[in-house]
Structure 1
Amino acid sequence: MTQETPKADIANAPRAGRSDKFPSGTVTYLSPLPLPTGLPPTDHGHAVGEVNERYLDFGVGLPSVFGWQVTLGGPFGLFVMVAMVFPAIAFLMLYWLGNGLPDAIHAFWGVIEISFWIGFWGGGGLMLWWLVASVIELKKKSQVIPTRFNRQRREVCFVPNGHREPIFVPWEELVAWVTEAQGVTEYGVQRQYGFGVGFLHPQTGEKYSLEFQTYGLPQAISNWEAIRAYMEYEVHTLKEIQDPLELQGPDDPPWEGVHVFRNARKRLHEEYREGKRGVHYLTGWYLYHLMTFWTLPNRLVEWEVRKIKRMTRKTLPRDMAEWSEPLSESEWAKPSETFKRLSQKVLEKQKARPGRLPYEVFAEVYAEEDRLPLASTN
């Protein structure tokens, strides 16, 4: 049985705090009216790309250095294993089981004549295949137009797949949700979590949505909170919501370039001097980075970031580029009075009883709002 993620019903006037149950799981809404969740604003899925004083790009995150380490280090490790380890094993076996050193040396050179070329062509072919796949993926990524959140205008810009004309949606009308799904597969019962945003096209009424998988419900909510906090001027930089291993300096760019490698090495030696890390950890760190070509993966990340930025600027629709231009502060859009009132109530309830699930607080606030008109007529 395959696992199916429940779908959000964005056409049926959802509001924050509502939960819809399905046979495969639950959809819980966090917006419209993006109320504060109280969770840390953290982009666990690395789906956020560029962040500046005007807008945040979501859906095309920055490349990871680990991906390049696997692409380079994996084939090299295969080469070392086949070309060097196998001959060493043959040497030891013949040394113990044969006639001593002469048989061992003969076995070593006999195996290495074959294993070296097997490892060379096998590892080289695998690396070439992964590099080609990485370049293809880079090209696809650079052609994707991200969802852009403009906090000066308090609007969100979508360019759905197959469209060239951008669609602009008011920030407070955007629907956001988290999903919990459970299903039985051939591997047993599995859980799945996700985070999504969506809207109805203002002219056609057609539904559009953007969804991402996460590895837990708190992480899904935190992803939304990172966007919400940015739009409400509570966070301002990518580093505040997505610092890789806390290795970004105050003036470092927000991607995993060579500066992250240098910061990691500096911190490692400080921890070694303080006795927090042992010599085995220190040696393993250096061996790992030697096997993954030292700083080359970080330099490839820097190259990939520059490439994506250049190509994204070329593919950006003109209307979206103009919409992204800065406004004078007097032109900045202001939050609605309803949004400010409900947000304040949510903050008060979170402070009075911390630790509650955010959508429980939302539902309680809306229930009180629904009773207000009735109470005023009595």
Structure 2
Amino acid sequence: MNSKVAQKSKVGPLLKEDYLSPLPLPTGELPADSLNIIWRKNNVFMDVGYYCIASGVMVMWPSMMLCLWIAYITNDPAVLLLGGAIFSVPIVLMLRSLFVPVPLPIRFNRQRREVCVSVAKGEYWVVPWETVTAMGTESSTINQAGKQTQGLLLIGFTNPDPDGNARNKNFTIGFNCGGGISAMKLWECMRSYMEIGPDAVEDPPDNVHHPKGILATYWRDLVKAAGQKGWPLAIVWDGFFGIFIFNALLVIALERLKLNPPPELTWPEIVEWSKPIPPEQWAKRSPELEAAIAQREAELALRD
């Protein structure tokens, strides 16, 4: 990807690619942190990380409950043995993940307009913000069950060392948020923070900063859901299904266990790099980006 194709789309029969950056131009969508990737945020930097143990729990727990229910109503021990054989490996892998350090976040420094990304154990890159690439991908498969679509937001970084190893020229991280508008909204969290400011992006969720206990947090989320969809639907979906089918309380507990607090960038150079600098020393947009944003905003105004 390059600046010539930013804000362009490539559409095929079963594949769609939205090129979002560079240059980091407005997408026309509002930022939405659908995956809770914002771990820290202040006026200097924002940490973005991806730890998805919740999806594993929410997939395995309903299947395990279904297996137990079938074993109960059929009174057949073979069902339990089959369930144990099916779920033993995923459970072991999940338990193992609880003892593995959480990957370090990507740090976006809006005052210096640079991004720090950990590319290997003990190694990091600091790259200019305007060189970061972003692309939303959406691919579909067709089978007997119908059409199934999956998507990612891919964010790429180029090694700032021109003499670096040829095998270590690029680094890419993917966020399993779905493609299309979902990818644009997630990308807007990073773009809006860097180009507009901290107030343009929502605060980190309670699975990272949790002033209340697990039950109090769950009750607050239930009340919030009731305000959005009404109490009957909130009690059925967020209440019954949330606790008994998807085990939301276990999800909250595991996320707090691993993200309390989120991992920190401790390299001395990055600690110094993350400190605030006087406003007169803040990095500015490039003239190319300034002109491109003005043109893009005019296009969005006409579209609205």
Q: Does 1:86 align with 2:49?
A: no
C-alpha distance 279-199 of structure 1, shift in aligned 2 (>3 A): closer
Q: Does 1:133 align with 2:93?
A: yes
1:154 CA displacement: 0.6
Residue 5 of structure 1 aligns with which residue? none
Residue 31 of structure 1 aligns with which residue? 21
Q: Relative to structure 2, which stretch is displaced further, 224-233 or 340-349?
A: 340-349
Which amino acid is 1:86 matched to? T
Q: Distance in 1 between matches of 2:279 and 2:234?
A: 55
CA-based RMSD of the aligned residues comes to 4.4
Q: Does 1:174 align with 2:132?
A: yes
Residue 40 of structure 2 aligns with which residue? 50
- In the comparison of the two structures, how many residue pairs are matched? 297
Q: Distance in 2 between matches of 1:184 and 1:283?
A: 30
Residue 264 of structure 1 aligns with which residue? 221
Counterpart of 2:302 (choices 337, 352, 356) is 352
1:61 CA displacement: 4.1
Q: Distance in 2 between matches of 1:47 and 1:339?
A: 26
Q: Distance in 2 between matches of 1:136 and 1:200?
A: 32
Counterpart of 2:253 (choices 296, 299, 302) is 299
Which amino acid is 1:82 matched to? A
Residue 366 of structure 1 aligns with which residue? none
Which amino acid is 2:96 matched to? I
C-alpha distance 303-125 of structure 1, shift in aligned 2 (>3 A): farther
Secondary structure of the corresponding residue to residue 320 of structure 1: helix
More helix as a share of residues: 1
- Contact residue 52 and residue 237 of structure 1 kept, 8 A: no
More strand as a share of residues: 2
Q: Does 1:333 align with 2:288?
A: no
1:149 CA displacement: 1.3
1:171 CA displacement: 0.9
- Contact residue 16 and residue 32 of structure 1 kept, 8 A: yes
Secondary structure of the corresponding residue to residue 166 of structure 1: strand
TM-score (norm 1): 0.61
Secondary structure of the corresponding residue to residue 172 of structure 2: strand
Q: Relative to structure 2, which stretch is displaced further, 31-40 or 54-63?
A: 54-63
Which residues of 2 match residues 48-127 of structure 1 at below 5 A? 48-61=38-51, 64=54, 67-68=56-57, 75=64, 78-83=67-72, 85-86=73-74
Residue 228 of structure 1 aligns with which residue? 191
C-alpha distance 264-183 of structure 1, shift in aligned 2 (>3 A): closer
C-alpha distance 270-18 of structure 1, shift in aligned 2 (>3 A): closer
Q: Relative to structure 2, which stretch is displaced further, 227-236 or 40-49?
A: 40-49
Which amino acid is 1:148 matched to? R
Give the greater-gyration-radius structure (CA). Answer: 1
Q: Relative to structure 2, which stretch is displaced further, 224-233 or 17-26?
A: 17-26
Q: Distance in 2 between matches of 1:36 and 1:283?
A: 35
- Contact residue 32 and residue 174 of structure 1 kept, 8 A: yes
1:230 CA displacement: 1.0
1:227 CA displacement: 0.8
Q: Distance in 2 between matches of 1:39 and 1:195?
A: 15
Q: Distance in 2 between matches of 1:136 and 1:68?
A: 14
Residue 157 of structure 1 aligns with which residue? 116
Q: Does 1:146 align with 2:105?
A: yes
Which amino acid is 2:175 matched to? F
